[in-house]
Amino acid sequence: MDRKIISVSKKRQITIPLQFYKRLNLGNEVECILEDGKMIIKPINLEPSEFSVEILKDLVSQGYSGDELVRQFEIQSKNIKKAVAGMLEEAEAIAAGKKPAADFDDVFGPED
């Protein structure tokens, strides 16, 4: 196991050692997980997600191709990330009792 002690700055920032960064093939973002009193930093899974495939299918059906397809895919992917982050924040607020959970009528409207 490789091990290295690193400093934490006053702004709570750390520098990932270059050999770790290269070996893990890290990009501009990493996933940070708290588990059993440990912080785990790992590469983001870059495998195409089900969302990615659905976004591409939708954009192709709208007639996008080439550079415009890539540009629209980037926009839609960012929108998905924002939506998922918002849903996670809402779920955490509900779990912490800071926000009430939606009931059936809130989601689907009252039954007739």
14 Cβ neighbours under 8 A, 6+ residues apart: 6, 7, 8
Residues 20 and 34 grouped into a single domain: yes
pLDDT averaged over every residue in the chain: 87
Same domain membership, residue 97 and residue 83: yes
Higher-pLDDT residue of 17 and 46 is 17
Flag whether 1 is in a domain: no
Q: How many domains does the chain have?
A: 2
pLDDT band, residue 53 (cuts 50/70/90): confident
Q: What pLDDT shows up at residue 46?
A: 59
21 class by beta-carbon count within 10 Å (0-12 exposed, 13-18 middle, 19+ buried): middle
Q: Do 61 and 39 share a structural domain? A: no
Whether residues 78 and 95 fall in one domain? yes
On whether residue 84 sits in a domain, the answer given is yes
Residue-level pLDDT at 59 = 94
Q: State whether 51 and 25 are in the same domain.
A: no
pTM for the whole thing?
0.46
Residue 35 is part of which domain span? Answer: 11-45
Residue 36 lies in a domain: yes
Q: What is the pLDDT of residue 71?
A: 93
> Does one domain contain both 69 and 95?
yes
> Is 47 a residue whose pLDDT tops 70?
no
pLDDT, one tens digit per residue, over 74-93 is 898 888 878 888 888 888 88
Q: Is the pLDDT of residue 45 over 90?
A: no
CATH of the domain at 17: 2.10.260
Residue 91 φ then ψ, to 5°: -65, -40
